[in-house]
Chain A
Amino acid sequence: MRLWLSQRLTAVIMAVYIVLLIILLAIQQPVGFDVWHAFVSPGWFRLITFLFFISLFIHAWLGVSDVFQDYIYNLKLRAYLQMIVDILLVVYLVWVSFILWNI
């Protein structure tokens, strides 16, 4: 149940973030580097964006695990593939935080 629930919760977080982002973009219309930089610089914006990506990766992890459980019956192969996905997602998360706090 915990996994199923996390999938729904992360989906809600992502949905809210996307709507919020579209509204913010529509209102502020950050065209040009300076305006865009000011748009993405506030700490809260970085934080919610980071939250969005954490949700995305948890959501993706759950989804891919489900697909592996459905299609890959060889347990060893499944474990290997799962490990690759795990590593990739952690790398992505570090990468995202690096990008977010370096702009």
Chain B
Amino acid sequence: MKFSVYRYNPDVDKKPYMQDYDIELHDEDHMLLDALIRIKEHDDTLSLRKSCREGVCGSDAMNINGKNGLACITKLIDLAEPVVLRPMPGLPVIRDLVVDMTQFFEHYNSVKPYLVNNDPLPETERLQSPEDRAKLDGLYECILCGACTTSCPSFWWNPDKFVGPAGLLQANRFIMDSRDQATEERLENLEDPYRLYRCHNIMNCVEVCPKKLNPNAAIANIKDLKIERARETKTTKKQIAIKSI
């Protein structure tokens, strides 16, 4: 099977180049990651991240024939030859298919991706009704592979300012959590022209997500909540004003 792989080793190469491989696959090679490991048997200078090899860890996200995805759950049989493999776009390349995800995780950190609850710790656990728990479906499954954020033009143009679909999906995950008490702060945290509102709904994120999640819907939900919140504050202000009269 024919492959064309992006190669770049900043220590040696002046600039990136595409290297062609034509490799003999074995019967048990079904997924793209199997083929990449096969390539590495011939050429161990090729660098890539991988770990769980079953679409759970999110390490081997890359640009496959122009579309971001996980190598380990991409079937070889579905790919047109030569399979063009590049690192995820919009992030600095460390080497070959390995990108520097610092920026990505900075945005992730900026939305405080953890439960904020100042009540004293209960004896056992913080309980949730099944209905409240169901609100987290489609949000908690994110594996932070970065496929969505690095396929988003708004992130390409403003990588330092726009949180990106993955980060915003996480923001919504904690906004929607009935056990979280920082909803107000979380909504306020996204109030500037870039962090949230650079999403213009082109839905590349939805198309590439290997877990079939919908960051676009999550972002829309945050926007809706912000409007609701603004209306509520307005009414309260009015009520206070009326009372003071």
Q: Contact: B158 with A1, CB < 8 Å? A: no
Flag whether A27 is at the interface (Cβ < 8 A).
Answer: no
B227 in the interface, Cβ–Cβ < 8 Å?
yes
Is the C-beta of A71 less than 8 angstroms from some C-beta in chain B?
yes
Q: How far is the CA of A3 from the CA of B198 in the complex (A)?
A: 11
Interface flag for B30 (CB, 8 Å): no
Please state if A1 and B197 are interface contacts (CB–CB under 8 Å).
yes
Q: How large is the interface on A (under 10, 10 to 19, 20 to 34, 35 or more residues)?
A: under 10
Contact with B along A20-35 (1 / 0, CB 8 A): 0000000000000000
Do most interface residues of chain A lie in helix, strand or loop, or is the interface mixed? helix
Q: Which of B189-223 contact A (CB under 8 A)?
A: 191, 193-194, 197-198, 223
Taken together as a complex, chains A and B put the C-alpha atoms of A5 and B229 apart, in Å, by 13
* Mask: chain A, 49-87; 1 = CB below 8 Å from B; 0 = not: 000000000000000000001110000000000000000
Residues of B171-198 whose CB lies within 8 A of A = 191, 193-194, 197-198
Residue of A with least CB distance to B229: A1
Do residues A70 and B157 form an inter-chain contact, with CB atoms below 8 A? yes
Min distance, Cβ B225 to any Cβ of chain A, angstroms: 11
Tell me if A3 and B193 are in contact (CB < 8 A): yes
What is the CA–CA distance of A78 and B181 in the complex, to the nearest angstrom?
A: 40
* A4→B157 contact, CB < 8 A: no
Docked Cα-Cα span, A1 to B187, in Å, equals 11
- Nearest opposing residue in chain B for A67, CB measure: B157
Residues 17-60 of B contacting A (Cβ, < 8 Å): none
19 contacts between A and B (CB under 8 A): A1-B191, A1-B197, A1-B223, A1-B226, A1-B227, A1-B230, A3-B193, A3-B197, A4-B197, A4-B223, A5-B227, A69-B158, A69-B193, A69-B194, A70-B154, A70-B157, A70-B158, A70-B198, A71-B157
Give 7 nearest A-B pairs by CB, closest first.
A70-B157, A4-B197, A1-B226, A1-B191, A1-B230, A70-B158, A5-B227
